[in-house]
Structure 1
Amino acid sequence: MGSLSGLRLAAGSCFRLCERDVSSSLRLTRSSDLKRINGFCTKPQESPGAPSRTYNRVPLHKPTDWQKKILIWSGRFKKEDEIPETVSLEMLDAAKNKMRVKISYLMIALTVVGCIFMVIEGKKAAQRHETLTSLNLEKKARLKEEAAMKAKTE
């Protein structure tokens, strides 16, 4: 057990030495580029006069018929004619999310209506004395009677 802890200590100190050597050979410059001290690994500097070619364009997507219906149902557009040829993916995602919420609300409402309906039906069945216990006892009595009839015939 003692040799195992000694091995751990040696590995830890070796790791710390290697980490110190690596961190001393790399330094962070002001432009957040990694540069080696000895100068072998330098990142080429961009000339400030050349404009960069980065555009912040939103990717556009041609909606399918189903996606057009979702855009209309979500309330984003009133008619299918108003939908542009291409729409952003964010607009489609927002419309889908809105539809998910509407469907969730619909499912909640249907669940509440179903629960109320089942409570009403259960109360009517209780007035007719159709409880689960009585139905189960009748079924067991019928099965016993059928088993007795079958035993007599054999």
Structure 2
Amino acid sequence: MGSWRGLRLAAGNCFQLYERNASSAIRFTRNSELKGFNGFCTKPQESPKATTNMYSHRVPLHKPTDWEKKILIWSGRFKKADEIPETISFEMLDAAKNKVRVKVSYLMIALTVAGCIAMVIEGKKAVKRNESLTRLNLEKKARLREEAAAIKDKAE
């Protein structure tokens, strides 16, 4: 192999083969008591104490606010505010927020398409009335010139 990296890989492979054949007690001891990090062994860090509002599988809980309760209802997760538990998981809240976010984006898409269709209809009605932006701008400029001329005549 010649290099340290190759030697290290070979040693790692040999150790993995040994570990597969080792008893479960040895494997448990190696994985739980000592952590290998770049060839050094360190003591395990103590895990923080579990808080009182946690599930058995250590998912932290969150007390939802009134706004978050509305989001949970709008997403269809719960039918009424009374059905919402005192504490919920962050995953449940994130899933509800994502569902509401998607519903709002679909609503905005529908409103944009409806607005475009309304503008096309109004534009066609304006063409039938012989109105155009060019004509309206020319009329406005002519009216402003007349007003400026009237003010100038009064000043003289």
Deviations 1:16-42 (A, max 9, x none): xxxxxxx9xxx898753345xxxxx75
Query: Cα RMSD (Å) of the superposition?
Result: 2.9
Residue in structure 2 matching 1:32, options 17, 30, 36: 36
Identity of aligned residues (%): 68
Give the TM-score, by structure 1 length. 0.66
Aligned to 1:5: none
User: Structure 1: any 5+ residue segments left out of the alignment?
Assistant: 1-22, 36-40, 47-52
Structure 2, unaligned stretches of length 5 or more? 16-34, 51-55
Contact 2:69/2:84, CA 8 A, preserved across alignment: yes
| TM score, norm. by length of structure 2 | 0.65
User: 1:2-151 residue pairs with structure 2 within 5 A?
Assistant: 32-35=36-39, 43-44=42-43, 56-151=57-152
How far has the Cα of 1:88 moved from its partner?
A: 0.2
CA distance in 1 between counterparts of 2:96 and 2:81 reads 14
SS, match of residue 69 in structure 1: helix
Q: For the structure 1 residues 89 and 42, does the alpha-carbon distance in structure 2 shift closer, same or farther, using more than 3 Å as the test?
A: closer
Structure 1 runs (4+) greater than 2 angstroms displaced: 27-35, 41-46, 53-56
Q: Deviations over 1:80-117 (max 9, x none)?
A: 22211110011101101111110111011111111111
Distance 2:151 2:90 in 1: 70
SS at match of 1:109: helix
